Structure 1
Amino acid sequence: MTTVLGIALLALALSGPTVAFVPIGGGASTHVSITGTALLQKVTETCRAVAEAAGYEFRPTGSSPEELVQACLGPTATGEVSGAKFHSALQEIYTQNGLVDRDFVNSAPHHFNSEAFLEGRGLIREGMASIKANIRKENFQAARETLGRVLHTLQDFYSHSNWVELGYTEPYINLIQPDLPLENLADVNTATCSDCSSGTCPNSILPSILKEKKLTSGYMGIFSAAKPKGKCSHGGAADLTSTTVPRGGINKDERRPDNVALHNAAVNAATAASLQLLQDIRLAAGDNDFLRMMGIARSSVVCFVIDTTGSMSDDIDEARAVVYEIIDSKKGTQDEPSEYILVPFNDPKFGPMIRTTDPDKMKREISKLKANGGGDIPEMCLSGLQLALTGAPASSHIYVFTDATAKDIALKDTVVALIRSSKSTVSFFMTGSSRRRRRSLRAASFEDYIDLALASGGQAIKVSKSKLPEATDVILDTSTSALVTVLQRARTPGKQETFPFMLDESLQNITIYITGTSISFTLTNPAGVSQNHNEVSGKLGTVQSVGNLRRIRLNSDSQTGTWQINVMSNQPYTLKVTGQSMITFIYDFVERFEGPHPGYAVLSGRPLAGQPATLMVSVMGRRGPSSITIGDVGLVSVSGPNTVSNGTTTDMGNGDILMTVDAVPEGEFVVILKGTDKMSNSKFQRQSTTQMSVSKVNIQAVVDSSVEPGIPFKLPFSVMTKGSGGQYSITARNDRDFPMSYQNSLTLTTGEYANATLTISPPADTPSGTDVTLTMEAKSSSGVDSNYAVLRFSVVTKITDFVQPVCEVVNVLAENCPHDVSQCEPFQWELWANLTDGNGTGIESVSLRQGNGSLSFTSLSAPIVQAKYNSSCCSQIVEFVAVDKVGNVGKCYQSIVRSAGPPTSTLSLPLWLCLLVSAFMARM
């Protein structure tokens, strides 16, 4: 089905030709509309179940993702909670779904073309195992990316095969239950289609195939017109086999006058199949982790990277105090962090990374930190930061505590690449003087931390140990939900300059940060009222000075409109204005790809120089995209003049914008967006934090599968430059320190790709579900130009257990339940069942999915797990699930609902028949 990249969240309906980035409204269904419909329905179901279990009402105020997130988080989401993470999660799934049409355009199994049914089902099976293993290890981004690809393949089955032509309206459950066989497949010698000279026949499947219910799919030839005799073609201009008899094609990718009914049937079946797959993953993961995978969480993630060498005792104490204050002051509010991450580093060790959603566990872990060792050697600061950037969710806020420059400064380019890829913000708190420490071969300095902070949109704060507690207010400011950046600029060298910025009615807790030395400033509101740096508590706000940081917290009644701040200094400085608001945006730099189903792919590295930069921007309002009007979108240099390079924008609907900028600013730049909030009729301004720049170098690489422990994995990659040819160095690093081999240099000819291969070898004892972040960089011999690619892949143990746990209902006692349900309150019923996993990996969890009673069970390590359910007769249906150690899900279902008429019950059936029905339901 047609590839579309964008946040299309409802069924799309357009008449006419299919286009990329299809807007809301209209007719032709796409992979994004099918995926979006299924995801929103499953997320809504899960949110409702979580709300019911927690005892609060799930009542979204509207249908937008922002309102869904607000309702899903319940009573703790009473303030500003951003929907950005949910949008980003959806976008990652949609993006990977679309990339199947670019990266696997000629792979029959990825599209169920050319009767590759067993191979296609194998991809789904492998993908589902990988998703479940990733969720167990809390590697949610890897899970989302695999989910997008698996859904594409699953959905293509219904468009590219003859499933709906055979009259089936329900999904083919055997595709996602690999213990069930694929049946009645047409073999290679069986003719399947009649000739269609016009290419638009309503149904060219042979009558014999329809009568015998034989399953086939169209052959696709991008480079050749050959196909087995008598076989159906995929069809379309890109399919060369469509002109070979039998001509035509059976794909239902687009709605045409000749295939409306079949197209609609394929869309409905693909949507239902997507829901089945999502439900299987939800049952295996549990509701809370399923929602975490989907980005349904309070936005803030607290991540600390802490130096534990001997001189850091005071700093560790302060970091511990800040964590305690965050936990204690924000628990139970919308600002309670959704996750806590801790990465200690020393020398030569760093890590391990500790991540938890449990605040008490975070308290215990940070209380264990002690300053020891290190001596006069600079620490592995950037190694610890690299681990945090690859392990923390995208767009996290990371806080680094150290009193020395980095020994591992060679990692600086890798860290910059990870910052740009993850869009995370890094702030440094540096105490003491680095001069007492021995330098590495490449002398590092505090300026390196300034560079990294600026690249990410964070702060580099240098302060004495005694003043550190005053500086950590920055952490309390930023460890909050719905944080947005209004303005960020840097000047090197410093100069006097006036910076205008716009405040809107939705903004709360507005804070201005200036870092640098010898700085004075004057702040002026729209009414002309001013306050300067000497006024600690003035008419506009409160000024705090500590180390090289000036923090100005504006008064809560600050006037909306255009403000100005005049900064005076001849020394380098940075300026940043932040606040809390649900009005925000996310973006990606994208490039168009061609093929049978053209679309847009997210760039892994920097945009190419010498050509327009293209971005996909998605804007969120307080009540969804309908509550805002989008104005100007452009790129602005952080360190240069305030000139904005505005782009040509195309409104894709639903808050999505495709923007093309011909004149990209020189050097580092960010995205700036302006618009109007309809709810308050006030203009708003937002800016991205992560800096980007263009490059003449391009790296292309695709991870096409998961990796098995102990088996070397070969990754082909290509490098090209539009600049000067010659020798380019190749550097690759992975965050797991797995052994790698590759060419460390390539000779490039301008405009031509040079091909090479990287081999990475995960150790045999690598836990299944481990995700690996691989960063590759190509740099010219002069060092003037470079680019990077950041790739993720999963290490997954080969799964051989595909058998679901089995539920055997042993006994049901419901004789006391009255036929008249209005009289049910005083009465109880009970159920006993045995749960087994045969020769599988063993049952790992048992949980109640439906029913208001209580479920208990014996030890899960026993060969037979005995479950008992007790409930009021008012709750007449029970369903519980057993999940084995590789994620196979078995269900146990029982109903004591009695039909109208004379009192009857399934319990009056013979025991053998009850057990047969229960066993059948357990495998549904």
Structure 2
Amino acid sequence: MRATLVLGVALLTLLLSGPTVAFVPIGGGSSTHVSITGTALLQKVTETCRAVAEEAGHEFNPTGSSAEELVQACLGPTATGDVSGAKFKSALQEIYTQNGLVDRNFVNSAPPHFNSEAFAEGRGLIIEGLVAIKANIREENFQAARETLGRVLHTLQDFYSHSNWVELGYTEPYINLIRLDLPLENLADFSTATCSDCASGKCPNPILPNILKEKKLTSGYMGISSAAKPKGKCSHGGAGDLTSSAEPRGGISKDERRSDNVDFHNAAVNAATAASLQLLDDLRLAAGDNDFLRMMGIARSSVVCFVIDTTGSMSDDIEAAREAVYKIIDGKKGTQDEPSEYILVPFNDPEFGPMIRTTDPAKMKREISLLRATGGGDTPEMCLSGLQLALTGAPDSSDIYVFTDAVAKDIHLKDTILALISSTKSTVSFFLTGSGRRRRSLRASSFEDYKNLALASGGQAIQVSKSQLPQATDIILDTSTSALVTVLQRARNPGKQETFPFMLDESQKNITIYITGQSITFTLTNPAGVIQNHNEASGKLGSVNTVGNLWRVRLNDDNMKGTWKINIISNQPYTLKVTGQSTITFIYDFVERFGGPHPGYAVLSGHPQAGQPAILMLSVIGRKGPSSVTVGDVSLVTVSGPETVRNSTTTDMGNGDILVTVDAVPEGEFVVSLKGTDKVSGSVFQRQSTTQMSVSKVNIKAVVDSSMQPGKTFNLPFSVMTQGSGGLYSISARNDKNFPMSKPPSLNLITGQYANSSVTITPPADTPSGSDVTVTLEAKSSSGADSNYIVLRFSVVTKITDFVAPVCEVVTVQADDCPHDVSQCKPFQWKLAATISDGNDTGVASVSLRQGGGNLTTSLLSDPIIQANYTASCCSQIVEFIAVDKVGNVGKCYHSIVRSAGPPTLPALLPLWLCLLVSAFVTWF
């Protein structure tokens, strides 16, 4: 345990970020929701990684404290080659972000903070969230699970800061908050006074003596716009709480460490951390170790996602995609570059989908082998509908490959696709073929649309003949890899002669240059001045291949460090992209600051606001963590010429997190460019984001405040405001599941004022519990000159009333052969037989061994009772196995045959059977 805690502290020092602070306001103290959540998450991830490694038979021995080294150790011997910690860090940031948003989105609501004695309501939010998270994990909707987890942990942690739990002398978590089968006991009623007056506002413990003596539970009242509170009640306290000036004055909040409340603040932090660990442990047991780690972003980082047109003319394209998948599966098996997940979305007309996702490469082979080209003719296809499914179903920052030879019938979805690309930061590349009328139709109508979507995502639109397609798919092998980074991407329309410098560093390998366009010539120059022309297929600097409109240059691996130049000559539009593999990278979000009692930074879903400084929260990941790099310039750069660079001011938030402010934002589309120094090698590095962004004068606000239920209409309020010209703005609302929706066609906006409206969504009654639905709202001016969007992800969860965990009953224990002298145990075995049943007839979903070195087998005795048989060496004297029912209730079952060192006593001779019921606490509020 000590090693685990030491590693957890080291990782915490590396990974915890400072943008979202909620246990204290900005600028106060060190114990925040981020630090509490991070401590618990990292400890639980480390424990889980160690357990997985031990079960697989290899050591869990991180070589250092960085995210990369933790992921490398967790993935084990198969994690050969470069391993990026970016997805792990991104998963943590998603949880932290949603945790912090509770303070912005629900500042006036008592239950999310356990303010104003809203104990039942606050617990209801925790229970509802737990049900949704477990259902999401069962459906492999890990992003939805992470977002809900962040919000649930905030509410759970606030209980210990905002109530008098620690003042009552309790040091352990209040298990009743996550156990619906246990009552909330000894609550102070509405008429009971709870606090004494504190004129200074800094009294060590204003809780009334009788409340302390009777162990009555209360919490502070919070008033943002009113000082009213029930007579005699405690206040939350602080400058943002108006009730703290009404008698009894002061407050009992332990959010901030002050000289008068140090002990209580520390006790609240410790209890909140322990409670977070308790909740995470239940989720881990319900999900299983592997899915728990997948939720946390601990997986081989590449995800292969194909969106494939299956109309009649696509036989050759389907075969090329099939061969590409086979190459990836067969060529990367057992390496770090083996994809962690495969996603396939077919589309035709009028059908599209379903989305097929699997971690099993054999299943992916089977699914893609079943694709057949049928129907379609010369008609346009549902390309963007299929792409929408992929963008919402694949993890963020995925590489998605679209195969088609026809125009998009659903081109009206283009704005929605652009919004999803921006929101997910995924890269979309199109492989475009065609013959006869379909080729002419594609060239005339849709190539520019496809090219614009690809460019917006940082991908490419590759136009080839059907016979050339197998050669073009090499780009998929290049990009479906771990630790992929973009060094430079530029586009020119119209084309012109231009020289593009780019910087390569010692950490990079597999550097590849892609140029798309017609009538291209180019010259490549390395830092030593060595030159290679476009017509040298195999030169001193690398190999050059061309197919269709794509040039692909793979650099040699020697002498790459330094500034390179590529001079391109063409009078036609072209794009340039330089990629490589490196664990030095960065993740970022555009954010806005919010005020209130607990200020922080909220991630923007949509374009940053025009006329204001752009603010980014940027996290740098080095080869051995953020301490192994020094950040230099961070700038916003236009991709399409003429090139404009806007420099920034940066504030180091600690632990690799940088707050970036750009006062003058470029006009049009821009990306984030980062330069720094790798301390390991001393070389300067250059990285660029792929997703293009622009500013808008329109702002849309909407909040995820609960889950949806199958068959029930859900109302989503939203608000729209513009700082530009007022007038009629069209409103569009779409979701990726085609659930029925209603919305206003437009809103009449007055400059600087929010207009309120709502959208209704009705998930069908047969929607599987745990599904998620992504809703995209857009507002566009009548001229089309300005627009903005917001993307929200909701869980769809069936109402559940079963909160009874599976029950274990021992039938027999045969341990008489086990010697009293443990040193003589090796030749002997003991056996245990037990029955497992679900107390509420939901049905047992899984039984797994958690402790013990023996063999556990199960069989169905008589529905719904399961027989469990365990056999172990007498040297392994403790067994614990976990039973999980179909809605996520967890039963922990423990048995020990350990004998005392002295003469046998009656307790030592009796079997010890303890069935600890740790319920998933499932009901619905």
TM-score, structure 1 as length reference: 0.96
Which residue of structure 2 aligns with residue 119 of structure 1? 121
> 1:839 Cα shift?
2.3
Which residue of structure 2 aligns with residue 609 of structure 1? 610
Which residue of structure 2 aligns with residue 349 of structure 1? 351
Q: Supply the distance in 2 between the matched residues of 1:782 and 1:854 (Cα, whole angstroms).
A: 70
Corresponding position: 1:749 with 2:750: yes
* 1:123 alignment partner, SS class: helix
Corresponding position: 1:697 with 2:698: yes
Which residue of structure 2 aligns with residue 56 of structure 1? 58
Q: Supply the distance in 2 between the matched residues of 1:652 and 1:226 (Cα, whole angstroms).
A: 38
Corresponding position: 1:327 with 2:329: yes
Q: Supply the distance in 2 between the matched residues of 1:686 and 1:438 (Cα, whole angstroms).
A: 38
What are the superposed Cα offsets for residues 391-427 of structure 1, whole Å, 9 maximum, x if unpaired?
Answer: 0000000001111121111111110100000000000
What are the superposed Cα offsets for residues 598-657 of structure 1, whole Å, 9 maximum, x if unpaired?
Answer: 111000000011110000000000100111111111110001234421111001111100
Which residue of structure 1 aligns with residue 533 of structure 2? 532
Q: Which amino acid aligns with 2:111?
A: P
Corresponding position: 1:822 with 2:849: no
Q: Supply the distance in 2 between the matched residues of 1:182 and 1:500 (Cα, whole angstroms).
A: 65
Q: Supply the distance in 1 between the matched residues of 2:424 and 2:355 (Cα, whole angstroms).
A: 17
- Decide whether the 8 Å contact of 1:115 with 1:216 is kept in 2: yes
Q: Which amino acid aligns with 2:356?
A: I
- Decide whether the 8 Å contact of 2:378 with 2:437 is kept in 1: no
> 1:833 Cα shift?
1.5
Correspondence list, 1:63-212, <5 A: 63-212=65-214
- Alignment RMSD (CA, Å): 2.1
Corresponding position: 1:318 with 2:314: no
Seen in structure 2, the aligned counterparts of structure 1 residues 904 and 688 have a Cα distance that, compared at 3 Å, is farther
Seen in structure 2, the aligned counterparts of structure 1 residues 539 and 9 have a Cα distance that, compared at 3 Å, is closer
Which residue of structure 1 aligns with residue 282 of structure 2? 280
Q: Supply the distance in 2 between the matched residues of 1:137 and 1:795 (Cα, whole angstroms).
A: 11
Correspondence list, 1:220-231, <5 A: 220-231=222-233
> 1:860 Cα shift?
8.1
Correspondence list, 1:886-901, <5 A: 886-901=887-902
Which residue of structure 1 aligns with residue 262 of structure 2? 260
> 1:444 Cα shift?
3.4
> 1:803 Cα shift?
1.0
Correspondence list, 1:381-420, <5 A: 381-420=383-422
- Decide whether the 8 Å contact of 1:7 with 1:91 is kept in 2: no
Question: Looking at both structures, which has the greater relative contact order when contacts are Cα pairs under 8 Å and sequence separation is at least 6?
Answer: 2
Correspondence list, 1:681-830, <5 A: 681-830=682-831
* 1:841 alignment partner, SS class: coil
Q: Supply the distance in 2 between the matched residues of 1:921 and 1:743 (Cα, whole angstroms).
A: 46
* 1:398 alignment partner, SS class: strand
> 1:907 Cα shift?
5.0
Q: Supply the distance in 1 between the matched residues of 2:572 and 2:651 (Cα, whole angstroms).
A: 41
* 1:699 alignment partner, SS class: strand
Which of residues 345, 352, 364 is equivalent to 1:362? 364
Corresponding position: 1:44 with 2:67: no
Q: Which amino acid aligns with 1:545?
A: T
Q: Supply the distance in 1 between the matched residues of 2:691 and 2:898 (Cα, whole angstroms).
A: 58
What are the superposed Cα offsets for residues 359-411 of structure 1, whole Å, 9 maximum, x if unpaired?
Answer: 00000000000001001101111111011001000000000111112111111
- Decide whether the 8 Å contact of 2:805 with 2:917 is kept in 1: no
Seen in structure 2, the aligned counterparts of structure 1 residues 433 and 658 have a Cα distance that, compared at 3 Å, is farther
- Decide whether the 8 Å contact of 1:382 with 1:411 is kept in 2: yes
Seen in structure 2, the aligned counterparts of structure 1 residues 549 and 568 have a Cα distance that, compared at 3 Å, is same
What are the superposed Cα offsets for residues 546-603 of structure 1, whole Å, 9 maximum, x if unpaired?
Answer: 0000000000113200000000000000000000000000000000111110111000
Seen in structure 2, the aligned counterparts of structure 1 residues 286 and 919 have a Cα distance that, compared at 3 Å, is closer
Q: Supply the distance in 1 between the matched residues of 2:449 and 2:242 (Cα, whole angstroms).
A: 55
Moved more, 472-481 or 810-819: 810-819
Q: Which amino acid aligns with 2:306?
A: F
> 1:921 Cα shift?
8.9
- Decide whether the 8 Å contact of 2:24 with 2:598 is kept in 1: no
Q: Supply the distance in 2 between the matched residues of 1:735 and 1:443 (Cα, whole angstroms).
A: 28
Which residue of structure 2 aligns with residue 879 of structure 1? 880
* 1:465 alignment partner, SS class: coil
- Decide whether the 8 Å contact of 2:704 with 2:794 is kept in 1: yes
Seen in structure 2, the aligned counterparts of structure 1 residues 434 and 562 have a Cα distance that, compared at 3 Å, is farther
TM-score, structure 2 as length reference: 0.96
> 1:676 Cα shift?
0.6
Seen in structure 2, the aligned counterparts of structure 1 residues 10 and 393 have a Cα distance that, compared at 3 Å, is closer
Seen in structure 2, the aligned counterparts of structure 1 residues 352 and 203 have a Cα distance that, compared at 3 Å, is same
Q: Supply the distance in 2 between the matched residues of 1:120 and 1:837 (Cα, whole angstroms).
A: 28
Seen in structure 2, the aligned counterparts of structure 1 residues 689 and 642 have a Cα distance that, compared at 3 Å, is same
Seen in structure 2, the aligned counterparts of structure 1 residues 918 and 890 have a Cα distance that, compared at 3 Å, is closer
- Decide whether the 8 Å contact of 1:9 with 1:40 is kept in 2: no
Which residue of structure 2 aligns with residue 3 of structure 1? none
> 1:809 Cα shift?
2.2
> 1:898 Cα shift?
2.6
- Decide whether the 8 Å contact of 2:392 with 2:420 is kept in 1: yes
Q: Supply the distance in 1 between the matched residues of 2:488 and 2:439 (Cα, whole angstroms).
A: 36
Q: Supply the distance in 1 between the matched residues of 2:360 and 2:540 (Cα, whole angstroms).
A: 41
Q: Which amino acid aligns with 1:315?
A: D
* 2:635 alignment partner, SS class: strand
Q: Supply the distance in 2 between the matched residues of 1:678 and 1:857 (Cα, whole angstroms).
A: 54
Which of residues 223, 241, 246 is equivalent to 1:239? 241
What are the superposed Cα offsets for residues 822-869 of structure 1, whole Å, 9 maximum, x if unpaired?
Answer: 221111111121211122411111111111111111228722212111
- Decide whether the 8 Å contact of 2:506 with 2:561 is kept in 1: yes
- Decide whether the 8 Å contact of 1:892 with 1:922 is kept in 2: no
Which residue of structure 1 aligns with residue 673 of structure 2? 672
What are the superposed Cα offsets for residues 475-499 of structure 1, whole Å, 9 maximum, x if unpaired?
Answer: 0000000000000000000000000
Q: Supply the distance in 2 between the matched residues of 1:922 and 1:454 (Cα, whole angstroms).
A: 49
* 1:859 alignment partner, SS class: strand
What are the superposed Cα offsets for residues 669-717 of structure 1, whole Å, 9 maximum, x if unpaired?
Answer: 0000011111111110000000000111111111210011111111111
> 1:9 Cα shift?
5.7
* 2:216 alignment partner, SS class: coil
- Decide whether the 8 Å contact of 1:843 with 1:860 is kept in 2: no
> 1:818 Cα shift?
2.0
Which residue of structure 1 aligns with residue 6 of structure 2? none
- Decide whether the 8 Å contact of 1:301 with 1:340 is kept in 2: yes
Q: Supply the distance in 1 between the matched residues of 2:12 and 2:872 (Cα, whole angstroms).
A: 43
Q: Supply the distance in 1 between the matched residues of 2:200 and 2:407 (Cα, whole angstroms).
A: 71
* 2:151 alignment partner, SS class: helix
- Decide whether the 8 Å contact of 1:12 with 1:29 is kept in 2: no
Equivalenced residues, count? 910
What are the superposed Cα offsets for residues 430-452 of structure 1, whole Å, 9 maximum, x if unpaired?
Answer: 11157447969x98321111101
Which residue of structure 2 aligns with residue 589 of structure 1? 590
- Decide whether the 8 Å contact of 1:464 with 1:547 is kept in 2: yes
> 1:900 Cα shift?
3.2
- Decide whether the 8 Å contact of 2:18 with 2:654 is kept in 1: no
Corresponding position: 1:859 with 2:851: no
Query: Percent identity at matched positions?
Result: 80
Seen in structure 2, the aligned counterparts of structure 1 residues 646 and 13 have a Cα distance that, compared at 3 Å, is closer
Seen in structure 2, the aligned counterparts of structure 1 residues 280 and 854 have a Cα distance that, compared at 3 Å, is same
Seen in structure 2, the aligned counterparts of structure 1 residues 573 and 125 have a Cα distance that, compared at 3 Å, is same
- Decide whether the 8 Å contact of 1:409 with 1:444 is kept in 2: no
Q: Which amino acid aligns with 1:344?
A: P
What are the superposed Cα offsets for residues 876-914 of structure 1, whole Å, 9 maximum, x if unpaired?
Answer: 1111111111101011001222333334585523x6xx4
Seen in structure 2, the aligned counterparts of structure 1 residues 11 and 209 have a Cα distance that, compared at 3 Å, is farther
> 1:810 Cα shift?
2.5
